[in-house]
Amino acid sequence: MDNLTNPQPAAAPTLQPLLGMSLDQLQQLCAAEGLPRFAAKQMCDWLYNKHVDTIDAMTNLSLKARSRLAEICCIGRSEPVNCQVSRDGTKKYLFRKSDDPQQFIESVFIPDADRGTLCVSCQAGCRMGCRFCVTGQQGFHGSLSAADILNQIFSIPEFDRLTNVVFMGMGEPMDNLDNVLRSTEVLTAPYGLGWSPKRITVSTVGIIPGLKRFLDSSSCHVAVSLHNPFAAEREEIMPMQRPYPIADVVSLLRQYDWSGQRRISFEYTMFRDLNDDTRHAAELVRLLKGLYCRVNLIRFHSSPDTPFRTSSTQTMERFRDYLNAHGVTCTIRASRGEDIMAACGLLAGQNKG
């Protein structure tokens, strides 16, 4: 049959999400649509202060402006499709990826007495392939838009309790840097949430070109996933070691000033008999000597389908004490949400709801 006798339904136009747009971008949108320039400021206020979830709720825009905007844009908000609560109070939220409803992403809310931290995802899956990571084993299913990143923050019931956001969920932030930077801009800009960049930490395995661009264009904290100071051993568990050796990552970091507000930390997941020996601690000290930084030791959450095993508490404490005694500040990070697979490296983005 040809298309004349059996016409295909016209594809629905893709609506552009307003969430994640900067003041500048909203001004360009207003100019293109013949709206007054001040409407962009009003839209920022509705989006980032008042948290509206419909364009119609932007009541100080004219009816005509709202109806034109609704033809081409959407807010970009969507509720989580599932929430699991850990016995320690940690909550894991599941969201649909807006441009691919078959894909899910996860965010983890971690409440503390005086803090509320949200760990957000920047990609569905990940292409970095770290061997110990559940997300990495799933492969890559697409990067998130700035709207999808910010939606994780704006659409949880704990939004008003958030004190910190960490980009340590699914995906590698330097592999989706434009959208990560757009998100952090909205979080920190006066037209957005106006947060201090000190409230935001962005992690990376050490993708050097992206990391350099990030360091030059953002003041947020940085966390580098280190996990082994020896090149050959690190490459066994982190394929990105080959193109971007950790020694080169540390050399790059040494070119920046870390004595001020901005912090650099190194994440070190401890695997029994793999990276928890004194020789690893000694090499870490050599690698990081003189760099103003902190090492966070993370307990590995073992499961039957992984060959990796958890270091004992005693080994972790010995490792920590060695680093501290040799001039590298080191802490053991408290583990949260293990019973709901919300801990580091366990985010699978599966809809079990």
With binding defined as CB under 6 A, does residue 207 bind ligand SF4?
Answer: no
With binding defined as CB under 6 A, does residue 143 bind ligand SF4?
Answer: no
Quick one: how far is CA 243 from the chain centroid?
22
Indicate the residue among 20 and 171 with the shorter CB distance to ligand SF4.
Answer: 171
Q: Using CA atoms, how far apart are residues 154 and 147, in angstroms rounded to an integer? A: 10
Q: Using CA atoms, how far apart are residues 187 and 175, in angstroms rounded to an integer? A: 20
Which residue matches tokens 């919300």? 342
Catalytic choice (106, 172, 185, 267): 106
With binding defined as CB under 6 A, does residue 128 bind ligand SF4?
Answer: yes
| Annotated catalytic residue 130 | no
- Residue 74 · residue 16 · CB < 8 Å: yes
With binding defined as CB under 6 A, does residue 296 bind ligand SF4?
Answer: no
With binding defined as CB under 6 A, does residue 293 bind ligand SF4?
Answer: no
Q: Using CA atoms, how far apart are residues 224 and 265, in angstroms rounded to an integer? A: 6
With binding defined as CB under 6 A, does residue 249 bind ligand SF4?
Answer: no
- Name the minimum Å distance from CB 121 to ligand SF4: 8
- Name the minimum Å distance from CB 145 to ligand SF4: 18
Q: Using CA atoms, how far apart are residues 190 and 210, in angstroms rounded to an integer? A: 25
What DSSP assignment string belongs to 154-199?
HTSTTGGG--EEEE-SSS-GGGGHHHHHHHHHHHHSTTTT---GGG
| Annotated catalytic residue 33 | no
Indicate the residue among 172 and 276 with the shorter CB distance to ligand SF4.
Answer: 172
Indicate the residue among 19 and 128 with the shorter CB distance to ligand SF4.
Answer: 128
- Total residues contacting ligand SF4 by CB under 6 A comes to 13
Q: Taking the CB of residue 227, how many other CB atoms lie within 10 A of it? A: 25
Site for ligand SF4 in 218-237 (CB under 6 A): 225
Q: Which are the catalytic amino acids?
A: 106, 344
Applying CB under 6 A, which residues contact ligand SF4?
Answer: 126, 128-130, 133, 135-136, 170-172, 205, 225, 345
